[in-house]
Amino acid sequence: MGIKSKTIIVNGQTITLEIGRYAEQATAAVLAKANDTVVLVTVVSGQEIPSLGYFPLSVEYQEKLYASGIIKGSRWVKREGKPTDEAVLKARLIDRSIRPLFPEGYMKEVQVVAQVLSFDQTTDPDVLALCAASAALSLSPIPWNGPIAAVRVKNDNLDLVISGSQDALVMVEAGANQVPETEVLAALTSGHAEIKK
């Protein structure tokens, strides 16, 4: 397929999506870069398991300590432990955004893994991982009604992650502190306008 890249500008921030360089054995893989934050998202599809009765989608989000330049100091702990609560929440953020867009009755196992390779402490790797997961699923032969994009709208009282397509919002996650409804609606509108770009 060769190495291909696409650069887009969202709210003044340059995002580069690259394919064909890494994880060639995966069904699809996208390397996403924004500033000095780099995320590799791989998508793998397995066999159909009709006896399960549900769609076996697995989403993992891995943010290793080395990504932000932190090395554990203990000389006895030499391995990574279970995922942190924060990593589980970020994986669920991706899952809630992509799961509704798979066709009903689809029973092939799908695994999405987002690995943060570098984190510059300023660019949100979770939003970048969600955009890269959408791109990887769109490139794969897996039936999926994407693509989608995601943005974070944040101020002193509101932290909102929005994912959606050109036509509609798919998922909204918010953390807020006594925010008027008009401010939330304005944030949703401006976030969806950025997604449409």
**Are 79 and 169 in a shared domain?**
no
DSSP 36: T
Distance linking the first and last C-alpha atoms of the chain: 27
d(CA 55, CA 79) in angstroms, rounded, equals 32
**Are 124 and 152 in a shared domain?**
no
**Are 182 and 137 in a shared domain?**
no
Which of residues 126, 144, 162 is at a domain's end? 144
Model confidence pLDDT, tens digit, residues 151-162:
999 988 899 999
Model confidence pLDDT, tens digit, residues 171-192:
999 998 888 999 999 999 999 9
Taking residue 173's Cβ as centre, other Cβ atoms within 10 Å add up to 17
**Are 14 and 91 in a shared domain?**
yes
Phi then psi for residue 71, to 5 deg, are -120, 130
34 lies in which domain range?
A: 4-144
Please say if the pLDDT value at position 27 is more than 60.
yes
Global confidence as pTM: 0.90
Burial environment of residue 160 by CB neighbours within 10 A (0 to 12, 13 to 18, 19 or more): buried
Over residues 36-54, mean pLDDT: 90
Contact 21, 31 (CB under 8 A): yes
Residues 6+ apart with CB under 8 A from 172: 160, 161, 162, 163, 188
Sheet containing strand 149-154, edge to edge, reads 149-154, 158-164, 169-176
**Are 157 and 108 in a shared domain?**
no
Phi then psi for residue 93, to 5 deg, are -60, -45
CATH number at 125 reads: 3.30.230.70
Q: How many domains does the chain have?
A: 2
